[in-house]
A = this chain, B = another copy of it.
Amino acid sequence: MHLPTWSDVIGAHERIAPHIRRTEILTSNALDRQAGATLFFKCENLQPPGAFKVRGACNAVFGLSEERASKGVATHSSGNHALCLAYAAGRRGIPCDVVMPRTAPQAKKDAVIGYGGRITECEPSTSSREEVFAGVQAESGGDFVHPYNDPRVIAGQATCAREFLDQVRDLDLLLAPIGGGGMISGTCLTVASVAPHVRVYAAEPEQADDAMRSLRAGRIIADDAPETIADGLKVPLKELTWHFVSKHVTDILTASEQEIIDAMKLSWKRLRQVIEPSCAVPLAVILKNPETFAGKRVGVIVTGGNVDLDRLPWTKH
């Protein structure tokens, strides 16, 4: 197991700087009042391809030797990693193959194609995804960039917390959604390296709470096909992310589907940002757990903004 280090994070940040946005921090007095806390939202939905995963994807793509890069890259992903890898590959001018669940939001599929990526569809389960991917990758020979269980990806995601700590002083804790654990692992890596007094919490849908159960059990528990509106958070932890989660995460808190939808709508209203259901899980758990967050300075990583605007969860369709 090759663990990324702090010097990998610094190297990643330099490598990806020309390709990413140092994203803005937004605040809302109304949300602060409602939460009884001081909340800072780092808007990764404003990354060019609309999600934090551009950080890890760019670090992997631009770190490849010319020879390795010539065969392109390949991955499987529930959405944002796919389109961010396609974006990164497009900027380097190399091929990109992605395996996506057929149920992934159309907006994400369109974006992959828009960036020049090639999509192969699979069933919406981890088992189908891995099986289909093996075939695709065997054919292309592209470099496999796992959506989160890859030290290059974790080092890339870690640059987000690095910026956050630089942009907002005296944070008590950082909070991000957890699916496979790439962003949380990067956050842990940064915090453990430069701000060990800052606590790291993760937020997860009740209906895909495998990371929470893993943390309680002390070992990885993986569900094959959980169902949640937070479509970015259905994947299980893997050994690299489990390392960081088990060592550095203070707690994983969960929210129901309705709580996620309510927090999503509230974020749109108060922050005036288009954000995905997955990004609303942190706000949902903040509002649900005042004993953990009240009175604190809380940094929330808003992970992405690629939404099917025709299928908003609070409107009829």
Is there an interface contact between B305 and A315, defined as CB atoms closer than 8 Å?
Answer: no
Question: Is A274 an interface residue, CB under 8 A from the partner?
Answer: yes
Q: How many copies does the complex hold?
A: 2
Compute how far the CA of A273 lies from the CA of B275 in the bound complex, rounded to whole angstroms. 9
Is there an interface contact between B309 and A265, defined as CB atoms closer than 8 Å?
Answer: yes
Known: A48-B29, A107-B269, A309-B268. A316 touches B316 (CB 8 A): yes
Q: Which residue of B lies closest to A270 (CB)?
A: B50
Question: Is A86 an interface residue, CB under 8 A from the partner?
Answer: no
0/1 string, A273-312, CB within 8 A of B gives 1: 1110000000000000000000000000000010001101
0/1 string, A39-77, CB within 8 A of B gives 1: 000000110101000000000000000000000000000
CB distance from A38 to the nearest CB of B (A): 15
Contacts of A305 in B (CB 8 A): 272
Question: Is A169 an interface residue, CB under 8 A from the partner?
Answer: no
Contacts of A274 in B (CB 8 A): 268-269, 272-274
Compute how far the CA of A316 lies from the CA of B317 in the bound complex, rounded to whole angstroms. 7
Compute how far the CA of A274 lies from the CA of B314 in the bound complex, rounded to whole angstroms. 15
Compute how far the CA of A316 lies from the CA of B316 in the bound complex, rounded to whole angstroms. 6
Compute how far the CA of A107 lies from the CA of B48 in the bound complex, rounded to whole angstroms. 30
Question: Is A24 an interface residue, CB under 8 A from the partner?
Answer: yes
Number of interface residues of A (CB under 8 A): 25
Question: Is A141 an interface residue, CB under 8 A from the partner?
Answer: no
Known: A26-B46, A46-B26. A269 touches B315 (CB 8 A): no
Question: Is A114 an interface residue, CB under 8 A from the partner?
Answer: yes
Q: Which of A46, A272, A273 has the most CB of B within 10 A?
A: A272
Question: Is A30 an interface residue, CB under 8 A from the partner?
Answer: yes
Is there an interface contact between A30 and B312, defined as CB atoms closer than 8 Å?
Answer: no
Q: Which residue of B lies closest to A305 (CB)?
A: B272
CB distance from A170 to the nearest CB of B (A): 21
CB distance from A220 to the nearest CB of B (A): 33
Compute how far the CA of A272 lies from the CA of B317 in the bound complex, rounded to whole angstroms. 21
Q: Quick one: which of A169-222 are within 8 Å of B by CB?
A: none
Is there an interface contact between A269 and B309, defined as CB atoms closer than 8 Å?
Answer: yes
Name A273's contact: one of B29, B114, B272 (CB within 8 Å).
B272
Contacts of A114 in B (CB 8 A): 30
Known contacts A272-B305, A310-B314, A312-B312, then 16 further A-B pairs from the complex at CB < 8 Å, ordered by chain A residue: A24-B24, A26-B46, A30-B114, A45-B272, A46-B272, A50-B272, A269-B309, A272-B275, A273-B273, A273-B274, A274-B274, A309-B314, A310-B315, A315-B316, A315-B317, A316-B317
